[in-house]
Amino acid sequence: MTKKLIFKTNQNEEVYQYTLKNQNGMQVDLLNLGACLLSIYVPDKNGNSIDVILGHEKVETYEQNPTYQGAIIGRYANRIGNATFDFHGKKIELEKNSVNHHLHSESVGFNYRVWQELQFNTDSITFGIQAPDGEGNYPGDIDCQVTYQLTENNGLIIEYSAKTKTETVANLTNHSYFNLNASNNSNILNHIVKINSNKITDVDADSIPTGEIKDITGTAFDFTQPKAIGQNIDDDNYLLKNAGGYDHNYVLDASDEAQITVYSPETGIEMDVFTNSPGVQFYTGNGINGQFVGKEGYAYPHRAGVCFETQFYPDAVNHQNFPSPYLTADKPQHFETEYRFSVKE
């Protein structure tokens, strides 16, 4: 672990970069701003060190971070329909920032804040953040911790914890955009993906869940057998057309095996994803289209990265048949996701 001060925010808060390294050539760079993943370097099939996540050219840009690069999203990730939900008979009205809906907590989002450094060791670091009752009109206080741990088998474990003194809702995730070809290398359409799920949450034209759990067996959404992301992404399918590609929540079952596997034929890098979260938002960077400059001055093209955001289902606060994002004083939240890298010859 190393730590260095790199800049101060507009509020004069100190932003530090942390670096974790293991004995196998893997390196992870982090910021306390947004508890953000800055870079993940892993060896490719030729022994070269490849940065496999997208990011901004200038570190100062993470203070705005319009596409949530690498950040921890909270207190509520993903969408809440009509920016409202019922909380014990009280109508909670939130900020509308995605058509008429609420997305990623927006102006009170944890991705914009400097997190407190709680603990760091040779292989891990823990960040913490708190939000009071009523901030952004969310009910209840919340105290969150996120731990990043780098293992000697090239795994990056992200541990999410949330607790409250009262009752509230929470949905934490990490919003890294992966490109196993390299962070400055074209798009992710050649990535071979396997997702051990044959169900997604159906959505309307605004990407808000209808409440139906949809069977996707044999459709363009079926990744139960490995296939390239680009194989069906532009199919004549109303869900794909509405989202401009994949931006959908897959229903996950608890498993000791990887629920997701991603492979780049170009670099030989393979990433396995293990999680105990109930769902994962599979997002293929449909909103990226060269509008901002990334690492090394590279303007990211359309679908330059792919996200695997492990979390509760979108709009779970409005659907009783979805796993509940509520937590209470005696029922905190605790989830863990591991991104484990290897080389496939």
Output the pLDDT for position 306. Answer: 98
Q: What is the largest CA-CA distance in the chain?
A: 59
Output the pLDDT for position 117. Answer: 97
**DSSP label at residue 144:** E
Tokens of 239: 């869900």
Residues 6+ apart with CB under 8 A from 46: none
Tokens of 320: 């009783």
Tokens of 318: 């409005």
CA angle 187, 191, 194 (to 5 degrees): 145
What distances in angstroms separate CA 185 from CA 13, 125, 131, 173, 177, one per listed residue? 33, 29, 38, 25, 13
Question: What does the alpha-carbon distance between residue 44 and residue 25 come to, in Å, rounded to a whole number?
Answer: 10
Output the pLDDT for position 163. Answer: 98
Residue type, 201: T
| Category of 68 on φ-ψ map: left (φ > 0), alpha (ψ -120 to 50) or beta | left
Tell me the torsion sign for CA atoms 326, 331, 332, 334. Answer: negative
Output the pLDDT for position 291. Answer: 82
Domain extent, residue 93, equals 2-185+280-343
CATH assignment at residue 101: 2.70.98.10
Tokens of 24: 């196998």
**DSSP label at residue 113:** S
Tally the domains of the chain.
1
Output the pLDDT for position 56. Answer: 95
Q: Which residues are designated catalytic?
A: 175, 309
Q: Is the pTM of this model over 0.95?
A: yes
Q: Would you say residue 215 lies in a domain? A: no
Q: Would you say residue 55 lies in a domain? A: yes
Q: Would you say residue 88 lies in a domain? A: yes
Q: Would you say residue 81 lies in a domain? A: yes
Tens-level pLDDT at each residue, the chain (345 residues): 899 999 999 999 999 999 999 999 999 999 999 999 999 999 999 999 999 999 999 999 999 998 999 999 999 999 999 999 999 999 999 999 999 999 999 999 999 999 999 999 999 999 999 999 999 999 999 999 999 999 999 999 999 999 999 999 999 999 999 999 998 878 999 999 999 999 999 999 999 999 999 999 999 999 999 999 999 999 999 999 999 999 999 999 999 999 999 999 999 999 999 999 999 999 999 999 888 789 999 999 999 999 999 999 999 999 999 999 999 999 999 999 999 999 987
Q: Would you say residue 175 lies in a domain? A: yes
Q: Would you say residue 273 lies in a domain? A: no
Q: Would you say residue 204 lies in a domain? A: no
**DSSP label at residue 111:** G
Q: Would you say residue 100 lies in a domain? A: yes
Residues 6+ apart with CB under 8 A from 97: 103, 106, 107
- For residue 303, whether the previous peptide bond is cis, meaning omega lies within 30 degrees of 0, is no
